[in-house]
Structure 1
Amino acid sequence: MEKKGSILLERYELGKLLGQGNFAKVYYAKDLKKFQNVAIKVIDKEKTLKAGLSEQIKREISVMKMAKHKNVLQLYEVMATKTKIYIVLEYAKGGELFNKVAKGRLKEDIARWIFQQLISAVDCCHSGGVYHRDLKLENLLIDEDGSLKVSDFGLSALIDSKRQDGLLHTMCGTPAYVAPEVINRRGYDGAKADIWSCGVILYVLLAGHLPFQDSNLIEMYKKITRADYRCPNWFPPEVRRLLLKILDPNPKTRIPISKIMENPWFKKGLGTRPAPARLAKVESTEAKLSEGNAIEKQFELSKPSNLNAFDIISLSSGLDLSGLFVADDGREDIRFTSIEPISVIVAKLEEVASELKLKVSKKDGGFLKLVSSGGRRVELGIDIDIFEVTPSFHVVEMKRANGNAFYYQKMLKDGMQPALKDIVWAWQGDSTQSRFKEKRCMSNFLCKLKFMYDVEF
Structure 2
Amino acid sequence: MSTQKLKRRVGKYELGRTIGEGTFAKVKFAKNTETGQHVAIKILEKDKVLKNKLVEQIKREIATMKLIKHPNVVCLYEVMGSKTKIFLVLEFVTGGELFDKIVNFGRMNEDEARRYFQQLINAVDYCHSRGVYHRDLKPENLLLDDRGNLKVSDFGLSALSQQVKDDGLLHTTCGTPNYVAPEVLNDRGYDGATADLWSCGVILFVLLAGYLPFDDSNISTLYKKISTADFTCPSWISLGAMQLIRKILDPNPMTRITIPEILEDKWFKKNYKPPVFQEEENVNLDDVDAVFKDSEEYHVTEQKDIQPSVINAFELISMSKGLNLGNLFDEEQEFKRETRFTSQCAAKEIITKIEEAAKPLGFDVQKKNYKMRLENSKAGRKGNLNVATEVFQVAPSLHMVELRKAKGDTLEFHKFYKNLSAGLKDIVWKTDDDMENNKPNERNGSHSNCS
2:157 to 144, 154, 158: 154
Map 1:20-39 → 2, pairs under 5 A: 20-21=21-22, 23-39=24-40
1:155 deviates by 4.2
Q: Does residue 371 of the first structure (1) align with residue 372 of the second (2)?
A: no
SS in 2 for 1:29: strand
Structure 2 residues not aligned, in runs of 5+: 276-320, 322-332, 338-363, 386-407, 429-451
Q: Deviations over 1:229-280 (max 9, x none)?
A: 111111011001111111111111110100000001111101289xxxxxx9
Q: Does residue 110 of the first structure (1) align with residue 106 of the second (2)?
A: no
Q: Is 2:161–2:172's contact at 8 Å kept on the other side of the alignment?
A: no
Supply the distance in 2 between the matched residues of 1:101 and 1:206 (Cα, whole angstroms).
10
Supply the distance in 2 between the matched residues of 1:150 and 1:136 (Cα, whole angstroms).
10
TM-score scaled by structure 1?
Answer: 0.59
Q: Is 2:163–2:170's contact at 8 Å kept on the other side of the alignment?
A: no
SS in 2 for 1:76: strand
Supply the distance in 1 between the matched residues of 2:248 and 2:152 (Cα, whole angstroms).
19
SS in 1 for 2:15: strand
Map 1:42-191 → 2, pairs under 5 A: 42-46=43-47, 57-58=58-59, 60-103=61-104, 104-152=106-154, 153-155=156-158, 161=164, 163-164=166-167, 166-191=168-193
Supply the distance in 2 between the matched residues of 1:87 and 1:267 (Cα, whole angstroms).
35
2:183 partner letter: E
Supply the distance in 2 between the matched residues of 1:374 and 1:365 (Cα, whole angstroms).
19
Q: Is 1:130–1:159's contact at 8 Å kept on the other side of the alignment?
A: no
Q: Deviations over 1:355-389 (max 9, x none)?
A: xxxxxxx994333235386699999xxxxxxxxxx
Supply the distance in 1 between the matched residues of 2:377 and 2:8 (Cα, whole angstroms).
39
Identify if the C-alpha distance between structure 1 residues 249 and 138 changes in structure 2 by more than 3 Å, giving closer, same or farther. Answer: same
Q: Which residue in the other structure is 1:195 paired with?
A: 197
Q: Is 1:155–1:172's contact at 8 Å kept on the other side of the alignment?
A: no
Identify which of structures 1 and 2 has the higher relative contact order when contacts are C-alpha pairs closer than 8 Å and 6+ apart. Answer: 2
1:66 deviates by 4.0
SS in 2 for 1:161: coil
Q: Which residue in the other structure is 1:256 paired with?
A: 258
Structure 1 residues not aligned, in runs of 5+: 274-279, 281-295, 302-326, 347-361, 380-457
Aligned length: 310
1:365 partner letter: L
TM-score scaled by structure 2?
Answer: 0.60
SS in 2 for 1:131: coil
Q: Deviations over 1:291-332 (max 9, x none)?
A: xxxxx99x899xxxxxxxxxxxxxxxxxxxxxxxxx999884
Q: What is the root-mean-square deviation of aligned Cα atoms in Å?
A: 3.9
1:214 deviates by 0.6
Q: Is 2:77–2:89's contact at 8 Å kept on the other side of the alignment?
A: yes
Identify if the C-alpha distance between structure 1 residues 71 and 363 changes in structure 2 by more than 3 Å, giving closer, same or farther. Answer: closer
Identify if the C-alpha distance between structure 1 residues 242 and 62 changes in structure 2 by more than 3 Å, giving closer, same or farther. Answer: same
Q: Deviations over 1:127-163 (max 9, x none)?
A: 1112211111111111111111111233459999363
**Greater share of helix residues, 1 or 2?**
1
Identify if the C-alpha distance between structure 1 residues 121 and 176 changes in structure 2 by more than 3 Å, giving closer, same or farther. Answer: same
Identity %: 53
SS in 2 for 1:89: strand
Identify if the C-alpha distance between structure 1 residues 112 and 151 changes in structure 2 by more than 3 Å, giving closer, same or farther. Answer: same
SS in 2 for 1:210: coil
